[in-house]
C-alpha cells in the first residue's frame, strides 16, 4: 500500500513538470519576433494645436481689508436731563447743524433770563459811572469796578447760553443716523449713547500690503474692491494715504483707500477684497498645458509643416489657463497641446481634424 502511494506521487510530479515545460515553450513562442510578425514604420502623431495669443497681463496685489466711514461718531448729549423730543429715525440722512434731540430746558431758559437781567443792571451801572467820571464826579477806580462787574455779568450770560444750547443735540457733520433706542420722557446722562452718525458719501477701506511693494505705491493709485454682499459688482477707489511706518511684526504697510459710495451700498465694517494694480503690459501667451519642463528650462512644441519643433521659452505671468512666454515665438504660431508625451523635436505630426496647423515662422532672438 505504501509503495503504491509512492508510485502515484512520482507519476503526479512527472505530469506537472511536463505541463510546465509545455506552457513555457508556448509563452516563448508567443513573445518571439517571429510570432509578432513584421513591424511596420510608425505613423505621424495626431495632435491638436492652439495659436500663440496676444494678451494683456496685469500685475496686481491681492489683500483683504475693512470698510469704515470717512467720518463716524457715536452721538452723546453734552448734558443730562429728560428727553422732550427726538427728531431722528434710523437711516435718516441729516445735515451738519440739524437738531437731533431736545432735552428739558426750562431751568436753562430761566438761568439765561436772570443772566441777561444782571447784564442789563451792570451795563446801566457802568454807563452811569462813565458819565460821572467824565464830569469829574467819580473816580477812575469806581469806573473800573463797574466795568469788571459788567464783564462778569456778560460771562455769566454767555455761560447760560452755552448751558441752554447743551439742552439740544445737533449733527456735527453730514451723515446717516444709525439705530437708536431713546424716546421722549427718558432721562439720559452725558454717557448715554443716543445713536451713531456716519458719513457714507465716501467709504474708507483700510488694508495692508507687504513692505516689498512700498516703492511702487503712491497716493492716487487705483484700487478695485469686491465684497460678498455685492459679489457681482466691483467698487473702484484710490489710495488716499500710506502709513509712515512699516509694522515690524508683519513687515507690512497700512494703506487707506477712498471709495465713492453715492448709492450707500457699502457700510462701515464690511469685509473688502482689494486688488491693487501695479503694472500692465501686453505679451504673448500659450495654454498652460502646452508647456513641458526639463530641469529649470521650459519648452513648447510648435507645428512646422508636418513636423514638431521644440522651442525654449521663458514663462511669466499667468492669466486664467494662459501663461505668458518670451523667446523665439510669434503671435499665431500653432502650439501643440495634446499628445506631448509622444512628441519630440522633429517628430512627424498631423493636426487633428478641424485644426489647421500653420507653417512655423522663425523669429530672430
**How confident is the model at residue 132, as a pLDDT?**
84
**How confident is the model at residue 5, as a pLDDT?**
61
In this structure, what are the phi and psi dihedrals at residue 322, rounded to the nearest 5 degrees? Answer: -100, 140
Mean pLDDT of 22-29: 46
Q: Where are the domains of the chain?
A: 47-57+282-351, 62-69+196-278, 79-104+167-193, 105-166
Contact yes or no for 347/304 (Cβ under 8 A): no
pLDDT at 22 over 70: no
- Of residues 12 and 348, more confidence is placed in 348
Place of cell 509712515: 244
Residue 320 three-state SS: coil
**How confident is the model at residue 192, as a pLDDT?**
94
The hierarchical CATH code for the domain 105-166 is 1.10.287
Instruction: Name the pLDDT band for 30 (thresholds 50, 70, 90).
Output: very low
Q: Fold identical between 47-57+282-351 and 79-104+167-193? A: no
Contact yes or no for 352/45 (Cβ under 8 A): no
CA distance 335 to 358: 10
Q: Which of 115-129, 173-187, 347-361 has the lowest mean pLDDT?
A: 347-361
Q: Is the dihedral of CA 338, 340, 341, 343 positive or negative?
A: positive
Q: Which of 29-38, 50-59, 155-164, 185-194 has the lowest mean pLDDT?
A: 29-38
- Of residues 99 and 28, more confidence is placed in 99
Mean pLDDT of 326-337: 91
High-pLDDT (> 90) share of the chain, %: 62
Is the pTM higher than 0.75? no
**How confident is the model at residue 42, as a pLDDT?**
63
**How confident is the model at residue 286, as a pLDDT?**
93
The hierarchical CATH code for the domain 47-57+282-351 is 2.40.420.20
pLDDT at 316 over 60: yes
**How confident is the model at residue 352, as a pLDDT?**
67
Highest mean pLDDT among 14-18, 128-132, 210-214: 210-214
- Of residues 283 and 19, more confidence is placed in 283
pLDDT at 358 over 50: no
CATH of 79-104+167-193, one of 3.30.870.10, 2.60.40.420, 2.10.109.10, 2.40.50.100: 2.40.50.100
Q: Is the dihedral of CA 171, 172, 176, 177 positive or negative?
A: negative
CA distance 338 to 48: 6
Mean pLDDT of 267-293: 92
**How confident is the model at residue 19, as a pLDDT?**
54
**How confident is the model at residue 180, as a pLDDT?**
92
Mean pLDDT of 169-194: 93
Mean pLDDT of 317-337: 90
- Of residues 35 and 338, more confidence is placed in 338
Look over the chain and give the mean of its residue pLDDT values, rounded to a whole number. Answer: 85
Of 300, 290, 329, 318, whose CA–CA distance to 60 is shortest? 318
CATH of 62-69+196-278, one of 2.40.30.170, 3.30.1600.10, 3.60.15.10, 1.10.1530.10: 2.40.30.170
pLDDT at 273 over 80: yes
pLDDT at 36 over 90: no
Span 66-124, pLDDT tens digits: 999 989 999 999 999 999 999 999 999 999 999 999 999 999 999 999 999 999 999 99
**How confident is the model at residue 142, as a pLDDT?**
86
CA distance 42 to 36: 16
Span 247-256, pLDDT tens digits: 999 999 999 9
Supply the DSSP string of 12-59, one letter for each residue. HHHHHHHHHHHHHHHHHHHHSHHHH-PPPPPPPEEE-EEE-EEEEEEE
CA distance 283 to 53: 8
**How confident is the model at residue 20, as a pLDDT?**
53
pLDDT at 60 over 50: yes
Mean pLDDT of 49-76: 92
Question: H/E element holding 154?
Answer: helix 140-165
**How confident is the model at residue 15, as a pLDDT?**
57
**How confident is the model at residue 281, as a pLDDT?**
87
In this structure, what are the phi and psi dihedrals at residue 361, rounded to the nearest 5 degrees? Answer: -105, 120
Amino acid at each position: 500500500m505504501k509503495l503504491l502511494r509512492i508510485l502515484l506521487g512520482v507519476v503526479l510530479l512527472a505530469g506537472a513538470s511536463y505541463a510546465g515545460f509545455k506552457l513555457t515553450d508556448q509563452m516563448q513562442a508567443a513573445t518571439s519576433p517571429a510570432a509578432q510578425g513584421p513591424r511596420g514604420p510608425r505613423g505621424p502623431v495626431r495632435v491638436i494645436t492652439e495659436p500663440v495669443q496676444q494678451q494683456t497681463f496685469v500685475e496686481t496685489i491681492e489683500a483683504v481689508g475693512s470698510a469704515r466711514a470717512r467720518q463716524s461718531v457715536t452721538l452723546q448729549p453734552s448734558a443730562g436731563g429728560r428727553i422732550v423730543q427726538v427728531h431722528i429715525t434710523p437711516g435718516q440722512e441729516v445735515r451738519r447743524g440739524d437738531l437731533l434731540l431736545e432735552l428739558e430746558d426750562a431751568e436753562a431758559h430761566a438761568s439765561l433770563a436772570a443772566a441777561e437781567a444782571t447784564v442789563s443792571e451792570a451795563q446801566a451801572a457802568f454807563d452811569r459811572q462813565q458819565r460821572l467820571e467824565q464830569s469829574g464826579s467819580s473816580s477812575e477806580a469806581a469806573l473800573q469796578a463797574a466795568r469788571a462787574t459788567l464783564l462778569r455779568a456778560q460771562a455769566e450770560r454767555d455761560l447760560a447760553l452755552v448751558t441752554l444750547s447743551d439742552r439740544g443735540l445737533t449733527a456735527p457733520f453730514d451723515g446717516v443716523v444709525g439705530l437708536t433706542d431713546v424716546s421722549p420722557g427718558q432721562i439720559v446722562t452725558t454717557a448715554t449713547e443716543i445713536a451713531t452718525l456716519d458719513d457714507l458719501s465716501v467709504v474708507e477701506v483700510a488694508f495692508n500690503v507687504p513692505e516689498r511693494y512700498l516703492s511702487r505705491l503712491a497716493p492716487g493709485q487705483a484700487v478695485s474692491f469686491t465684497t460678498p454682499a455685492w459679489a457681482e459688482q466691483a467698487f473702484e477707489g484710490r489710495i488716499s494715504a500710506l502709513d509712515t511706518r512699516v509694522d515690524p511684526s508683519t513687515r507690512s504697510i497700512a494703506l487707506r483707500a477712498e471709495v465713492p459710495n453715492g448709492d450707500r451700498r457699502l457700510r462701515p465694517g464690511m469685509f473688502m477684497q482689494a486688488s491693487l494694480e501695479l503694472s500692465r503690459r501686453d505679451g504673448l501667451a500659450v495654454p498652460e498645458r502646452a508647456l513641458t519642463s526639463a530641469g529649470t528650462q521650459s519648452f513648447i512644441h510648435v507645428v512646422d509643416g508636418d513636423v514638431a519643433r521644440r522651442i525654449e521659452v521663458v514663462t511669466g505671468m499667468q492669466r486664467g489657463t494662459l501663461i505668458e512666454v518670451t523667446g523665439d515665438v510669434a503671435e499665431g504660431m500653432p502650439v501643440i497641446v495634446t499628445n506631448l508625451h509622444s512628441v519630440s523635436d522633429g517628430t512627424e505630426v498631423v493636426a487633428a481634424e478641424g485644426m489647421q496647423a500653420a507653417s512655423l515662422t522663425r523669429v530672430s532672438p
